[in-house]
Structure 1
Amino acid sequence: MAIQSSFRGNFTMSGESTAGSGRFGTSGLSEVSDFATKYRADIDGLRALAVVPVLLYHAGIPGFPGGFVGVDIFFVISGYLICGMIDADIRNRRFSLGDFYKRRMLRILPALFVMFLVTSVFAYLYFLPVELEDYARSLASALGSVANIYFAGTAGYFDAPAETKPLLHTWSLGVEEQFYLIVPLLMLLVWRAAPRQARLLFAIAAALSFAAAIAVSFRNPTFVFYLAPFRAWELALGALLAIGFFPAPQTAFGKNACGAAGMLLLLGAIFLGSPSAPLLLMISLASIGSTLVIASSEGGVSAIGRLLSLRPVVFIGLISYSLYLWHWPLIVFQRTDQLLLPDSSGVAAKLALVALSVGIAFLSWKFVEMPFRRARTVSKSMVFGIASMATASAVALCGLVLFVKGAPFRFPERVVAIASYLAYDPSQAFRSGQCYLATNRQHLDIETCMTTDARRPNYLLVGDSHAAHLWSGLSAAMPAVNILQATASACRPAAMSVSPLDTRACPRLMQYVFSDFLVNNRVDKVLLSASWKDEDIAGLSETIETLTSRGFDVVVLGPIVEYDTPLPRLLADEILRNSPSIASRTRTAGIRERDRELGRIAAAKGATYLSVYDAVCRDGQCDEFAEGDIPLQFDAGHLTAQGSVVVGRRLSTGLAGQLARADNVVR
């Protein structure tokens, strides 16, 4: 899944800095006041524990493979603080929706809008037209508090990578802002209608959210990652602690044991986790760990609480919201435009990003966040009015950018023509939704994609998107062959066991191909193609053995040259910077070596091997254009339709001899 394979770890830190022990179903003004006024330094320290690993993880500093779980830590903190204060104010009969939203706006919007302003200036200066249009859409979504919905809807496999989206991190703000919109109303309703059942009702809501996340994760993990209904249970964990559903430990041993257990879960997720681990597992470890750490200091500071209350740790926690806002745009502009240093992958550039992020975060906290947080005498009407005007003005500018199609007049015509392929739609060439299954909701069109032809040789092309991008080129180069197609996103060609409850497209498709179609149909060749990785070698060997034992002629199509950045972007940069070697310097390492290893394995197992890499690259030089100003590849690795024709023509020569023999048989 493009989503979580390419971007985890955005978070928000916009919760209040006070905490205490408010409860539903109890009374006492002193208890209510304690929650609203008691400062807990350990919670600011917990913010630091989240933001530092995320910053280092995103900057590319090794040693923090699970640093992205900061989002989950902050969701728990927000649920605890916000719901605790709402509970206290409701029971004290002083809760006001207007006052609540005013505080939220003063807390979130000033620093956020400053980041939007600066990021927008850099986007206008550096982004190509397609990129600027995408940025305008994401900005409008963030302004409307629906960034998470926008990014969930644009997280397809062929969408721009995370490293080109400077506002991608605002998805978590969208989740929290939707939480702020719904939860106060829900708590008011429950408090008035069923105060005695309040805690139970919130626990049921949390359980339903978690159950929904589990159910949907099998079918659409992107939605589970981005959308508020499937993240609500994390916020609810903190809320349930704040309202007393979970009892806080009271003895010294209980506090310290609770804090230590929570810290071990958090550190385990951060240092031993992985982006490839199941999403809900990582979320659960971080959320439960955060809840335990907060609970450990509810009735008095635990040993872990004292550790988190150290001044340097608290300082990072205090600036964590601004650090969250600024670190990701800086990383994006450094990686796409070398904003700070020419080598984005170098240690110096990574450390410079970390230092600059912390420095800007401190300035934002001191000169933007703090003054507005102290502006308690400003009227609600003024706050709402200014926020509304600023939002409307920014949305209007986004509309203008879309109206002028990304302001192409900023760049030479050739650059604009090449960069337009950043928005290339491969669905027609790939036969998406029919023969290439891009989502789990799609099903193979057997009549269109898998019908054999008695008058021509039949070749079955099986694999992932790197198989799908070859279909049109091979079909054009070999009109005398009927090329069948069974491909799906991120789907290696191998026999897979499928449970009756599995709704994923790839296992279903491979089960059909290997256990149904190839059992009941004969084809002249089976073409196996994928974006092969080292971990695929064992599975490929087994697949070749299985097919050859059944008498099939197997052809393995190797990996194609790939880049660390979409090729059209690199080609545009070559022109703008007058540096023709930019693309060649950013080729993904290790592919040529893997290509050679796969060739040896295929030959040893009795299969034919065709090197797609050699079809594109010769003598250290790789073709970058299909023809004219049309890039060979539209992203970091997939072929354009014209590129597929070029590569398909070259690969077809490797099949020419066997094709001729097949034609003779037909005749």
Structure 2
Amino acid sequence: MTASGWRDDIQALRGWAVLFVVLFHTGLGIAPSGFVGVDIFFVVSGYLITGNVVRERNAGTLRIGRFYQRRIRRLWPAAFVTLLATTLAAALLLTPTAQARFWQQLVGALTFSTNVALWRQINYFHDSAALEPLLHFWSLAVEEQYYLLLPVTLLLVPHRWWPAMVAAVTLASLAAFLWLYPWSPGAAFYLLPTRAWELGIGSLVACMPVRGRVQRLAYRTAPGLAAIVLTVPFMALPTAAAYWLTLPACAATAGLLAAARPIGPRGAVAGWLGDRSYAIYLVHWPPIAFAHAIWLGNSPPAWVAILLCTAGIGVGAVLHGLVERPCLRLPLSRWWWAALIAGSAIIAVTGALAPRLTGNAIARVDLQPVTGLPGAACDGSRTTFDPACRTGPAPRLLLWGDSFSQHLVPGLQATTDVAFAQASKGGCPPLPGLAPVDMQASVAVARGCIAFGDSVLSWLAHTPSVEVVMLSGSYLRYTWPGVRVLRRDGSLKPPNADQLAAAQRDMVARVRRMGKRVVLVAAPPQSAFDVGQCQERRVHHLLLAGAPTDCAITPANRLAGSDWLAALMARFARDGTPVVQLAPGLCRSDGICPTAWAGRPLWVEGKHLTRTGSIVVARRLGLGAHAWELAR
């Protein structure tokens, strides 16, 4: 740092980081790995906060209360304005279903725990995450939790042990991340214990200032390190692989911090963005999320995305000039605590009352997902099938698959008296020996899918009462960008139709050798937009784009890959697996599928059926009897 404590290179780093994040969030593919901008922020924040604490501790001026007050003065005013404006906009633009999730996130933002709320709600890399206006507050929560613990920890630990302690915590956090990520990507992504290593890298540089030869080396390699930081976000890798770009980005950022080499003049664009990076980060995302909600889960048109990106930077600059900077100049006092409590109360009350004042809480639409048979045995969390998940003591039918088998349960119960068992595990299409790997399912999760399938086959071999095996799964998942297929032998390869067809033939042959018949129920027509939100927005007269006004699924707005899926189902049928198509019970002869019946949505989102949808299509097709007769 300079004598004044200012470093232009750090401001430039902040500027590049926020630009990467904004470009990534536009959805235009300009910076496909731009999410690493947040990781750059983490390293920089750890460095700056630790540096401040170390200097004050060494000077004997560190006061915990004053430290927290400065953090509040720095972070809260702009966050208050953002949260209040977002809460009001959510009341006007979101459906009651979306507002219920928003309220949990808002409480998280007020209690520095948005990351925990989001961890319980949604995978950051799932398409539906783009609908959450406070999604970006997860990273602020991680930083705030780190800020709460850091000064107390450094006060309690003797000064000479600081570098060793920070290094140990950083390595432990990184080890925890590497261990947990394969088992629970969501927890590893969102929670402080597994993200602290990024802040810890910055803290380590601050606790162990480089000198002499090491500093000269860092200074000389700074251009190369800058090239890594500036290039990584633009690498067009599959999402599952791209996340590991975090490691080189964090390491390069640490090197730049150690080098302390100016990246450009103070008035450069990156420096200008860096000065305003916090405010820009706060305000850029909510409008994009609202646009995703209006376009029913899809990215808005390019011109809208560009407009929102530009507006986010502009509004962030205004927020910085009118709120953030003036509040930094105000003297510290007890009034900050009063302002914090009053401001939080205002936002909480606004969040609770605004939907009622706008009328959006009336006529709630039931969009609860179908989770299959009730009971702990049926929750799908185990890697082995629990035979207690059944409707009778001697089941004659087995319903086997992923969530697409679960949503058939109400329809099956409405159209057959045959006792059946349910073997459903989310994210695990019924192809024994194969399992998908992507950002929503790690290799460890895929191994669990394979183990679950093996346990189902083992149970079938020892259950003579079962006569028919009904299969249903999300085979379209194998077309998702970046997905790979884990085989039982441990190999990991891109998917192809030949591979899936071979696995299907082998499994059906094995089941038939047990003396049982097989039938497959295809997925319902799947749309490129969120059908449930479309119907709910219609009911509440909210802005709606990206779908027909009646929310119908048409050949033009079906999900990409629908033709591939139809060809795969036809191939399964040619290979000897009878296939029941749900489309005739949901769609007209012209291929248009109405998505509501008697005012009730038939789809939860764009893929899964509601309870009403399951029962309606099953009764129209006579699903229970039809599938039983077709099975062979």
Task: Give the TM-score taking structure 2 as reference length.
Answer: 0.85
SS of 1:555's equivalent? strand
Question: Which residue identity does 1:276 align to in structure 2?
Answer: A
Q: Which residue of 1 aligns with 2:440?
A: none
Q: Which residue of 2 aligns with 1:446?
A: 387
Q: Report the more deviating stretch, 108-117 or 531-540.
A: 531-540
Tell me if the contact between 1:249 and 1:255 (Cα under 8 Å) persists in the aligned partners: no
- Pairs within 5 Å for 1:574-593: 574-575=538-539, 576=541, 580-584=549-553, 587-593=557-563
Which of 492, 496, 500 is the matching residue for 1:540? 500
1:517 paired to 2:459 = yes
- How much does 1:502 deviate? 4.9
Which of 147, 161, 171 is the matching residue for 2:128? 161
The answer to which structure, 1 or 2, has the higher relative contact order (CA under 8 A, 6+ apart) is 2
State the distance in 1 between where 2:627 and 2:581 align.
Answer: 17
Identical-pair percentage: 27
State the distance in 1 between where 2:103 and 2:65 align.
Answer: 30
Tell me if the contact between 1:571 and 1:583 (Cα under 8 Å) persists in the aligned partners: no
SS of 1:561's equivalent? coil
How many aligned residue pairs are there? 594
State the distance in 2 between where 1:661 and 1:410 align.
Answer: 50
Distance 1:469 1:320, change over 3 A: same
Q: Which residue of 1 aligns with 2:399?
A: 461
Question: Which residue identity does 1:517 align to in structure 2?
Answer: W
State the distance in 2 between where 1:593 and 1:338 align.
Answer: 23
Q: Which residue of 2 aligns with 1:7?
A: none
- How much does 1:109 deviate? 1.0
State the distance in 1 between where 2:192 and 2:15 align.
Answer: 24
1:629 paired to 2:629 = no
Which of 407, 421, 431 is the matching residue for 1:484? 421
Q: Report the more deviating stretch, 257-266 or 385-394.
A: 257-266
1:387 paired to 2:336 = no
State the distance in 2 between where 1:531 and 1:247 align.
Answer: 56
State the distance in 1 between where 2:497 and 2:585 align.
Answer: 21
- How much does 1:110 deviate? 1.1
Tell me if the contact between 1:44 and 1:317 (Cα under 8 Å) persists in the aligned partners: yes
- How much does 1:251 deviate? 6.4
Q: Could you list the runs of 5+ residues in structure 1 that have no partner in the other structure?
A: 1-18, 21-33, 663-667
Q: Which residue of 2 aligns with 1:115?
A: 82
Q: Deviations over 1:145-179 (max 9, x none)?
A: 1111222222389x993233211211111111111
- How much does 1:364 deviate? 1.1
- How much does 1:476 deviate? 2.5
1:420 paired to 2:365 = yes
Q: Deviations over 1:519-571 (max 9, x none)?
A: 44465443332222234734431221212332524433323223444323211
Q: Deviations over 1:578-616 (max 9, x none)?
A: 973345479443354133211232133222222234432
Tell me if the contact between 1:475 and 1:483 (Cα under 8 Å) persists in the aligned partners: no
Q: Report the more deviating stretch, 558-567 or 380-389.
A: 558-567
- How much does 1:490 deviate? 1.3
- Pairs within 5 Å for 1:38-187: 38-155=5-122, 161-187=128-154
SS of 1:461's equivalent? strand
Q: Deviations over 1:397-454 (max 9, x none)?
A: 44556xxxx428715xxx943x4324x2534x454642341x46x864322349883x
Q: Report the more deviating stretch, 246-255 or 265-274.
A: 246-255
- Pairs within 5 Å for 1:596-615: 596-615=566-585
Question: Which residue identity does 1:370 align to in structure 2?
Answer: R
State the distance in 1 between where 2:434 and 2:302 align.
Answer: 43
Distance 1:245 1:470, change over 3 A: farther
Q: Which residue of 1 aligns with 2:449?
A: 506
Q: Deviations over 1:83-142 (max 9, x none)?
A: 011101100111122322222112111111111121122122222333334323322221
Which of 224, 241, 263 is the matching residue for 1:306? 263
SS of 2:263's equivalent? helix
Q: Deviations over 1:468-517 (max 9, x none)?
A: 1112312321323x43321111112222389xx95764333123124x23
Tell me if the contact between 2:511 and 2:518 (Cα under 8 Å) persists in the aligned partners: no
1:294 paired to 2:257 = yes
Distance 1:416 1:389, change over 3 A: closer
SS of 2:365's equivalent? helix
Q: Deviations over 1:207-230 (max 9, x none)?
A: 222222233323322111111111
Q: Which residue of 2 aligns with 1:232?
A: 196
State the distance in 2 between where 1:565 and 1:408 align.
Answer: 29
- How much does 1:465 deviate? 0.6
Distance 1:370 1:598, change over 3 A: same
Q: Report the more deviating stretch, 342-351 or 485-494.
A: 342-351
State the distance in 1 between where 2:316 and 2:133 align.
Answer: 16
State the distance in 1 between where 2:511 and 2:176 align.
Answer: 46
Which of 538, 560, 564 is the matching residue for 2:524? 560
Q: Which residue of 2 aligns with 1:317?
A: 274
- How much does 1:249 deviate? 6.0
State the distance in 2 between where 1:595 and 1:88 align.
Answer: 62
Tell me if the contact between 2:173 and 2:195 (Cα under 8 Å) persists in the aligned partners: yes
Q: Could you list the runs of 5+ residues in structure 2 that have no partner in the other structure?
A: 436-442, 480-494
Task: Give the TM-score taking structure 1 as reference length.
Answer: 0.80
Question: Which residue identity does 1:448 align to in structure 2?
Answer: C
Q: Report the more deviating stretch, 320-329 or 571-580.
A: 571-580
State the distance in 2 between where 1:255 and 1:648 align.
Answer: 69
Tell me if the contact between 1:102 and 1:383 (Cα under 8 Å) persists in the aligned partners: yes
Distance 1:558 1:409, change over 3 A: same
